[in-house]
Structure 1
Amino acid sequence: MSATTRERELDATERAYLAGHRICRMATVDPSGQPQVNPVGYFLQDDGTILSGGFDLGRTKRWRNLHANPRLSLVVDEVVSQDPWTVRGVEIRGEAELLVGPHDLAPGMSDELIRVHPRWVHSWGLDGL
C-alpha cells in the first residue's frame, strides 16, 4: 500500500476516489483551540474544490469555527478488507470559503455553503483505482 503527500491539487486518482463517496469527517478548531470533528456530506467540484452544506449550516458550531478560523481538515477513508487488513483514503487540509446565497447543491439545504480550497493532500491505498 503506497501513500502520497503533496501540497495543492488533488490528482486524478484522488478525485476519482472522492467522487465515489459522499460523507467525510470535517475537523475545525474553535476560538479556544479545541478541535471539533463532524461527519458531513460533500460534493467534489470540477475545479478541485469541495462544497459542503447542511440543513441549518449557518447556526452550527462548525460554521462559527470556520468564520473565526478558516483552516480545516477533511478525511474520507474506508476499510477495504479485514483479511488482509487493507485501508484507503484521502486527507485534505485547506481553507474554507464561507458562501451565503441560493444554490442547487441539494434539496432542503440552507443558503450557507462551505467551499474547501485544498492546500495539502495525503492519500493512501489508492493503487489500482
Structure 2
Amino acid sequence: MIFTTVELAYLAGQRLGRLATVAPDGTPQNSPVGFRHNAATDTIDVHGYNLGASRKFRNVAATRVVSLVVDDIASVDPWQVRGLEIRGEADAVTGEDPPEGYLSPEVIRIRPRRIISWGIDPEAPGMQARNTSL
C-alpha cells in the first residue's frame, strides 16, 4: 500500500485537486481536476469529460511527468491549512470503463514517487515528505 490511512482519509474527503503536467517543449500546465484513489491499482486516477482530447492528457502521454496538489483551509481562526502533493509518473490510459458519474473512457493514472503532506495528521504536525517504492 503506497498511501497511509491518514492520506487516504484526507483524499476521500476532497473533491478537487490541481494537476500540473509538462508539455514536450517544457511548458508547464496546471488544471483543476476531479480525482479518486483507485484501490485496485493503488494509484490516483483523474477522470473527466472528454479527457482524451485535453492538453493535460496529451502532456501525460508525451512526458508522463505530473504533480497533483489537493489542499484546503481547515480553519481560518486559528489559521490551519492542510494538503497533499503527489509527485510521480502518470499513464494516459484509453479504453477504460469509467466509474459511475464519469463520462470519458480515458484516465490519467498517477503512480506516486514522492508524497508531501501538511496538516492532515494531528499526530504528525508540520510537513511530512516521503519517497515511495513502486
TM-score by length of 2: 0.84
Give the whole-Å Cα distance in 1 for the aligned partners of 2:61 and 2:51. 12
For residues 74-129 of structure 1, what are the alpha-carbon distances to aligned partners after superposition, in whole Å with 9 as ceiling and x for unaligned? 00001111122110000000111121114131335111111111110000001238
Structure 2 unaligned blocks of 5 or more: 124-134
Q: Please give the root-mean-square deviation of Cα atoms over the aligned residues, in Å.
A: 1.7
Give the whole-Å Cα distance in 2 for the aligned partners of 1:90 and 1:74. 8
For the Cα contact (< 8 Å) 1:80–1:88, is it kept in 2?
Answer: yes
Number of residue pairs matched?
Answer: 122
Give the whole-Å Cα distance in 1 for the aligned partners of 2:15 and 2:74. 17
Q: Which residue of 2 aligns with 1:26?
A: 19
2:73 partner SS = strand
For the Cα contact (< 8 Å) 2:98–2:104, is it kept in 1?
Answer: no
Q: Which residue of 2 aligns with 1:112?
A: 106
Structure 1 unaligned blocks of 5 or more: 1-7
Q: Which moved more, 1:103-112 or 1:27-36?
A: 103-112
Give the whole-Å Cα distance in 2 for the aligned partners of 1:94 and 1:48. 13
Q: Which residue of 2 aligns with 1:37?
A: 30
TM-score by length of 1: 0.87
Distance 1:102 1:11, change over 3 A: closer
Instruction: Give 4+ residue runs of structure 1 displaced > 3 Å after superposition.
Output: none
Kindly, what percent of the aligned residue pairs are identical?
45
Deviation, 1:48, is 2.5
1:42 partner SS = strand
1:89 partner SS = strand
Q: Which residue of 2 aligns with 1:3?
A: none
For the Cα contact (< 8 Å) 1:41–1:52, is it kept in 2?
Answer: yes
Match 2:75 to one of 70, 76, 81: 81
For the Cα contact (< 8 Å) 1:9–1:119, is it kept in 2?
Answer: no
Distance 1:32 1:81, change over 3 A: same
